[in-house]
């Protein structure tokens, strides 16, 4: 499912809001989650899962094409851990 499909599905179920209203709400939710993760926080949605940022240290690597040694800078990567309830529903 893509974002526009999610927005349409919610707009169908909630008759009080237009698709534009639902889109603004979804954008605000995603923006808030992104801002929290950017600050190093954690986002937990009970029954669904949690998002956090993993820190990767700088390291040395090798370009497989040329064999040249390179320095890989430190980086932060978003990570999602699925919740127990979601895992159970998917595996039914």
Contact present, 49 and 86 (Cβ < 8 Å): yes
Cβ atoms 78, 51 nearer than 8 A: yes
From the list 20, 15, 16, the residue with the least C-alpha distance to 7 is 20
pLDDT at 12: 93
Full-model pTM: 0.78
Which superfamily, per CATH, for 42-92? Answer: IHF-like DNA-binding proteins (4.10.520.10)
In the chain, domain spans: 1-39, 42-92
Q: Which helix (H) or strand (E) holds 48?
A: none
pLDDT of 17-68, one tens digit each? 999 999 999 999 999 999 999 999 999 999 999 999 999 999 999 999 999 9
Q: For the chain, how long is the longest CA-to-CA vector?
A: 60
């Amino acid at each position: 499912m893509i974002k526009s499909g999610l927005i349409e599905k919610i707009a169908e179920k909630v008759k009080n809001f237009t698709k534009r209203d639902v889109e603004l709400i979804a954008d605000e939710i995603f923006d808030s989650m992104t801002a929290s993760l950017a600050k190093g926080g954690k986002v937990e949605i009970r029954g669904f899962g949690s998002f956090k940022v993993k820190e990767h240290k700088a390291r040395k690597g090798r370009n497989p094409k040329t064999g040249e040694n390179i320095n890989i800078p430190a980086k932060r990567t978003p990570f999602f851990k699925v919740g127990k309830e979601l895992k159970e529903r998917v595996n039914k």
